[in-house]
Structure 1
Amino acid sequence: MTASAAAPTEPADQHGCRQCGWPVDQPSATVSSHRTSEGVIVYTRCVCGTLNVWLETTARRLVTP
């Protein structure tokens, strides 16, 4: 698995992939998910191959490094 290490030039869009703009709520695959005290961490793979990390609480938000 490879995640892009390049820093984004714009803030992460919660509606589209930072690399290709594909809607992040329509991932190619869910890689894994784990319960935490804050909610559920979900790792998804975009159709372009980018790995996205989500923290699912009452509101869904993209976790950026």
Structure 2
Amino acid sequence: MGAVVKALLLARYTLVIHNGMKVTSEAESWTLDFATQLRKIDAALQGAGIDTTKPMLAPVEW
């Protein structure tokens, strides 16, 4: 698997984990929304032949 595809998969995993998370800073709260970024990453991965409908595995390096 190419380095660009691996980087996109890592970015996708990270955004999926944090998407929808409620954050608070300086007494203001909001929900993180990475839907647009995830759609763009999915389109790029699908263009590379990666099935983005399968469950993701955690990116563990041994």
Normalized against structure 1, the TM-score is what?
0.24
Q: Larger % of helix: which?
A: 2
Q: Larger % of strand: which?
A: 1
**Higher-RCO chain (CA-CA 8 Å, sequence separation at least 6):** 2
